[in-house]
Structure 1
């Protein structure tokens, strides 16, 4: 009996102890947080991540960044892809995985912007879309503005021309696709918006970022969009080259003397009944110069040789007459093309690399 009692005491002493066990240990709470200075960013460019932790022993990154990380810190990270980029931080206490947090950054190559402009007595949002290269690795890019025709908008125009997008993705330039007030450009009183001022405002906005080389700015315009780039080029010293497609200058624009020489790549349809190549009254009551007279007007202003080189070429199935005024100031050139059996349209763009020709022309004739 004494033996059994002694054994019971020994067992109670060994099991009782101080009361400590693994299930009773109070581990410190682990808290971590992570934030970014920008919720969206151009792909291949950086954002700054900042994080902190309490009660952790080690931290590591996963998702769209990697490597061991300090318990508290900040780091510039590259946004690698279009869409959602997830930067995750995992922190551990001892051998226990306690916390995982992440922050999302949207990567983009299309940026939609708006700026305020007074139109009449009202302040309105003027919109434009920016299309960057798929892999924007250069420090700076030239700018190519593309102005839509009457009734269009910048986003539609951006998605309409696959060849322009290909040139952008090849890193030739960044595309800027503005939208006209009430979907029109004010060349001859179409609206009461000052679209030359709008162009100034866009350039000023783009000057806030070093990726935009505003000293090398060009423009393509279609129909009503061609009209506005003629006007901008005459009134502002901001463009190095323009390509007005299916519209020449109006007579009032032709009277303006440009401030600097620039290269001109003008295209007209032989049978255009809205913007007649012979000039005179056309769409929206506009009085146009002739296609030849418009090109000569540019050439006279730039002291070009007034005897153009003439050539018959083909754009796919379209026969085209090409006229070139060379030996101009600063090495610029003035070209105009008459597309035979073509009206007020740009169907020829599907049969030739017209936008690559325009870009190569700009590169060759501007410095």
Structure 2
């Protein structure tokens, strides 16, 4: 028993040490408010290189400091391995102003300028580090997934690509036309009990949190904006974990004039309001299944790399 407890302790300490070794809380001021973000810089960082930036946004009720552990520190590992800067921004009062979906969240009710927050944040990164402003990416889950779409809509000249986990598009977002194409990856579960795959009201603890359109309609919006009408791939991914009661169907559309512009859908059959490969952060009865056939972090980073060639 002592050996088992010692092994568990060592694993925990190793994980904790790795996650915190190069992570630092940074502060910026936006509209008189002090905002902050968690910064992970790879150990072999060199001023002589320009590094891609990957923003990782938490969901409603979450915090930036919890996202590395939530994703099993995988983005930090990938940043160390492949050389990019991982940034975990903090929403205002644990939420993001992703648009006019509802006014229940504090950030939306107070109309917090979260788009402006990212403007300041990127400039702050650029002043402190050697970043590649042509390779700026963002991903997020739930409220964070809605927010990265707002960023792509309003700052399409800034973000090369985005990835959305457990979020569709809100109806108000579909009224905005981005000025430039932005490659998009959706990872959504067909059995999501909070954000319905086929559209309808977002429901959290029996409370309606605004309307969303279906994932298919969301995909069609981005396909239209990006000129991605050519079906490039459709396949069932290997069901490597049969105990998770989920399978993943992949569809890729590309722009025939620029194949690096893509829209990708990873439809998680029977998947819940969850991040594939991550922790079961709440019981299945509340959020549904976590798919373990893929790792969301790996899939997202591979997608970002593929569209930045």
For 1:354 and 1:115, the matched residues in 2 are separated by 29
Equivalent residue for 1:218, pick from 133, 137, 141: 137
- Aligned partner of 1:141 in structure 2 is 51
Runs of 4+ in 1 over 6 A off after TM superposition: none
Residue 133 of structure 2 aligns to a residue in which SS?
A: strand
SS of equivalent to 2:137: strand
Tell me if structure 1 keeps the 8 A contact 2:45–2:83: no
The residue that corresponds to 1:127 in the other structure is 36
* Compared CA separation, residues 328 and 361, structure 1 to 2 (3 A): farther
Q: Describe the SS at the equivalent of 1:248.
A: coil
Tell me, which stretches of 5 or more residues in structure 1 are unaligned? 1-82, 84-107
Structure 1 residues 123-162: Cα deviation after superposition (integer angstroms, max 9, x where no partner): 3211101101122236221000000011111111123322
Task: Please report how far the alpha carbon of residue 308 of structure 1 lies from its aligned counterpart in structure 2 after TM superposition.
Answer: 6.7
Q: Please give the secondary structure, in 2, of the residue aligned with 1:332.
A: strand
Retained in 2: the 8 A contact 1:133–1:169? yes
The number of residue pairs the alignment matches comes to 258
Structure showing greater Rg = 1
Give the TM-score taking structure 2 as reference length.
Answer: 0.77
The alignment status of 1:233 with 2:152, answered yes or no, reads yes
Distance 1:309 1:329, change over 3 A: same
| TM-score, structure 1 normalization | 0.66
Structure with larger RCO (C-alpha < 8 A, sep 6+): 2
Q: Are 1:206 and 2:206 an aligned pair?
A: no
Q: Return the offset for 1:206.
A: 1.4
2:29 to 116, 122, 138: 116
State the secondary structure of the residue aligned to 2:117.
Answer: helix
Moved more, 165-174 or 346-355: 346-355
Contact 2:29 2:35 in 1 (8 A): yes
Residues 289 and 129 of structure 1: is their aligned pair in 2 closer, same or farther, counting only changes over 3 Å?
Answer: same
1:315 Cα deviation from its structure 2 partner: 5.4
TM-aligned CA distance change 1:348 to 1:112, over 3 Å: closer
- Are the aligned partners of 2:226 and 2:255 in contact in 1 as well (CA < 8 Å)? no
